[in-house]
Amino acid sequence: MLSADAEKIHTDVGGCDQNSSLSHKDREHWTAFPIAPSFFRILLESEMLFTLDFVCLVGAALRVRARRLTLKQYLEFQHVLVEIREGQQALVDRALSQLGAKRHVVLTLPFFVPAIFAIAQTDLILTVPRRLAKITAVMAGVRVVQAPCEIKSFPYFMAWHPRLTNEPAHKWFREQLRSAVRTV
């Protein structure tokens, strides 16, 4: 358990991207969790923790018979957006923009769980990581439909400064993360 094993460790979780600063306030014990760390690989050690893919959650008022949506079907629906970056759910919208496509967003929320419950009795669609859908779909009363093939899976990495590779506390912390993701 983290609290018992690491009484003096403070964990600060936040997103990072190519605009993130490597001069983090506590850079001596810095671990990043970039989704696509190609820009970090040059400067940092990294390890893939897991791969996630997307599914669509469909509100009860939306009649969808298909098990997998085509891109054309997907773009015809009204969407809820969980805004990761201003106006975007980065990975989904980046994939769509590369195809010259854009979804019709009618509701934007900052978090996935409230968004899942918000669509329950509507005709809206929400694109979420599959693991989250497995945990919440039945509880929220929404249906799971496979996302279009054009919306690809993505790797999730942890990254750290090379000087921390053999540091005992940091090694311990990385092992705790590996152990935690095995249970999800």
**Tokens representing residue 140 in the block:** 């929220």
15 domain residue, yes or no? no
Helices marked H in the chain — which ranges? 2-5, 71-76, 90-98, 112-118, 130-140, 168-182
**Tokens representing residue 66 in the block:** 């298909």
Segments forming the whole domain that contains residue 86 = 54-146
Record the pTM: 0.74
Q: Do residue 94 and residue 111 come from a single domain?
A: yes
Beginning with the edge strand found earlier in the chain, give each strand of the sheet holding 54-58 in spatial order.
Answer: 104-109, 78-82, 125-129, 54-58, 143-146
| Domain CATH code at residue 122 | 3.40.190.10
pLDDT surpassing 80 at residue 102: yes
**Number of domains observed in the structure of the chain:** 2
Tens digits of residue pLDDT in 151-165: 988 888 888 888 889
Q: Do residue 36 and residue 98 come from a single domain?
A: no
* pLDDT tier for residue 89 given thresholds of 50, 70 and 90: low
* pLDDT tier for residue 14 given thresholds of 50, 70 and 90: low
39 domain residue, yes or no? yes
126 domain residue, yes or no? yes
**Tokens representing residue 81 in the block:** 């957006």
pLDDT score of 114: 94
